[in-house]
Amino acid sequence: MPIVAAGHPVLRRRTVPYDGQLGDALLTRFVRALRVTMRAAPGVGLAAPQVGVGLRIAVIEDPAPVPEEVRVARGREPQPFRVLVNPAYEAVGSERAAFFEGCLSVPGYQAVVARHAAVRLTGQDERGRALDEEFTGWPARIVQHETDHLDGTLYLDRAEPRSLSCNAATARYWGQPTAEEAARALGFDLP
């Protein structure tokens, strides 16, 4: 499916809770299409508004093929494919972590975003089974990013403006596992 870019109104609207609007067969096809689109992009999550659908549905999956140094610094562990229906999160503790983050709907750019280091996710899966799970590290970041999409929030709304970098600059200057060097060089504070 085509991914809509920042500026499209659907990305700024709060989504409608999913209560069976698609029916089982169409929901299954929609989830499959979200998965294929996410993987093809490639990305680690995709929310329904990113394909122009204002329903509270998102998918996440992260194979986490990163160097060990990055895995440890960011808490990036592989995540299996999951469907999040009507998800919500709340912080677990007060610790925050700041890393460069990008978005399929804001192609070509990344910025440092401080997010909760751990969150509790509640909602349902695609079969209506309750979800109640704690996520830490990078998986917590993915959950927050995708759930934010469902509330009409883009990562840029939470980003440190001085850190905004095109992908080429991010790769050239800020490829370190943490954002400390970028914060010093660009003049912003980390949590």
Which positions are catalytic? 146
Handedness of CA 53, 58, 64, 69 (dihedral sign): positive
The annotation status of 103 as a binding-site residue, yes or no, is yes
Which residue do the tokens 């870019």 mark? 5
166 is in an annotated binding site: no
8 is an annotated ligand-binding site residue: no
In Å, what is the CA distance from 7 to each residue of 37, 50, 59, 68, 106? Answer: 20, 11, 22, 36, 9
Q: List C-alpha distances in Å: 90 to 4, 9, 34, 78, 116.
A: 27, 26, 25, 22, 9
Residue partners of 41: CB distance under 8 A and separation at least 6: 3, 104
Binding residue positions:
103, 145, 149
Binding residue positions for Fe cation:
103, 145, 149
